Structure 1
Amino acid sequence: MTKIITAITLFVCSLLTAQSQYETGMQKAFGLWKEGKNTEASALFERIAAAEKTNWLPDYYVALVNTTAAFQTTDKTQLNLLLNKAQTALDIEMIKDQNNAELYVVQAMIYTAWIVSDPMINGMKYSAKVMEQYEKAEALAPNNPRVVFGKADFQMGGAKWTGIDTKPLCAEVDKAIELFATFKPESPFAPSWGLERALETQKNCKK
């Protein structure tokens, strides 16, 4: 009996240690990202993903870090590297779970980054794919603020080409902001970003 209790205690202790290492690693990675050290943050998220194979969040953040960095570069070689790394990480999680709206949002962002990098070549190629990803996300999580805002924001970005009325889209931005106020992440490291960008877009709607 003593051996069984000892074994259980050791098992519980190992779980707690693993959880602590995961939390410490994630916090450090977020810290690096906040400091603008995208490469270092991505590398740390990758290492965490390798150790946490059943947890979708580390790979999700590898994809998100590299996608957001891609929007900030005009270097084609660098952009290709960033978006390919983002896609590789996202694909790992997409294979495991096709019912996660947050993954579809990042996939839409990857396609959007390709469009922004070269609208003339990539606009026709990826625009429908972006909307397809948001529609899949919307079907899974219609009240997720990143889904609602992302879809509206993408359509607003293309309004100068499509000529669509942006008033209904601005109403969707307002809706997203309301959803951000009540949205509760599933865990401490689950996605909660997007409100700042939505508020900026709302200001532009009111000009």
Structure 2
Amino acid sequence: MNKLILSIVLLGTTFVNAQDRYSKGMEKAFELWQNQKTTEASNMFERIATAEPDKWLPYYYVSQINTVISFGEKDEDKLSKQLERAKEFLDVAKAISPDNPELLIQEALINTAWIAFDGATYGMTLSQKNAQLYQKAMELAPNNPRVVFSKAEWDMGSARYFGKDTTPYCKDVERALELFATFKSETPFYPSWGKERAEQVLANCGK
């Protein structure tokens, strides 16, 4: 009996230590990202992902960093490598956590980075894909503020492209901000971005 209790205690201690290493690693990676050290942050998240193959969040953040730094990139070879890396890590995250609205939004952002780089080449096919991704995300999580806002901003961009009024989507941005005020996740390091961007969009809404 004593051996059994000791084994349980040791297993619990190992789990706590592993969780502690995970938390400290994630905090360090976010600190690097906050300090504009994107390559170091991406590499850190990748190391955590390798050590924690059952957690989708480290894979998600590798994908997100490589997507964010691709906007405005003019070098096609560099852009391709970054977005291919983003998609590679996203695919693993989706395998770990299927039907995850945060991952659907991330996939749409990768597509948007391609469209921003070369709308003539990627606009038609990827725009249709994005519409489907945002629709599915809304069906899965209609009260997720990032889902509501990301879809609204995409719809605004589409309306602007076709010369239509963007005002009808202002109410969706307002709703997203209301949701940002109350949305909580019990999962540590869960995505929390979007509120500041939504405030900026709302400030210029309908103008």
Superposed CA RMSD in Å reads 1.3
Q: Find the aligned partners of 1:81 and 1:156 in 2 and give their Cα distance.
A: 29
Q: TM-score, normalised by structure 2?
A: 0.95
Aligned to 1:66: 66
Q: Find the aligned partners of 1:72 and 1:183 in 2 and give their Cα distance.
A: 31
For the Cα contact (< 8 Å) 1:185–1:192, is it kept in 2?
no
- What stretches of structure 1 of length at least 5 have no aligned partner? none
For the Cα contact (< 8 Å) 2:167–2:206, is it kept in 1?
no
The percent of aligned pairs where both chains have the same amino acid is 49
TM-superposed deviation, 1:160: 2.8
- What stretches of structure 2 of length at least 5 have no aligned partner? none
Q: Find the aligned partners of 1:155 and 1:121 in 2 and give their Cα distance.
A: 20
**Which whole-Å deviations, capped at 9, do the CAs of 1:2-43 have from their partners, x for residues lacking one?**
222221111111011000000000000000111111111111
Q: Find the aligned partners of 1:4 and 1:151 in 2 and give their Cα distance.
A: 53
Q: Which runs of 4+ in 1 moved over 3 A?
A: none
Aligned to 2:95: 95
Q: Find the aligned partners of 1:101 and 1:153 in 2 and give their Cα distance.
A: 16
Aligned to 2:188: 188
Tell me the secondary structure at the aligned position of residue 98 of structure 1: coil
For the Cα contact (< 8 Å) 2:57–2:189, is it kept in 1?
yes
Q: Find the aligned partners of 2:97 and 2:20 in 1 and give their Cα distance.
A: 25
Aligned to 1:78: 78
Q: How many residues align?
A: 207
Aligned to 2:52: 52
Q: Find the aligned partners of 1:2 and 1:161 in 2 and give their Cα distance.
A: 71
Q: Find the aligned partners of 2:178 and 2:38 in 1 and give their Cα distance.
A: 30
Q: TM-score, normalised by structure 1?
A: 0.95
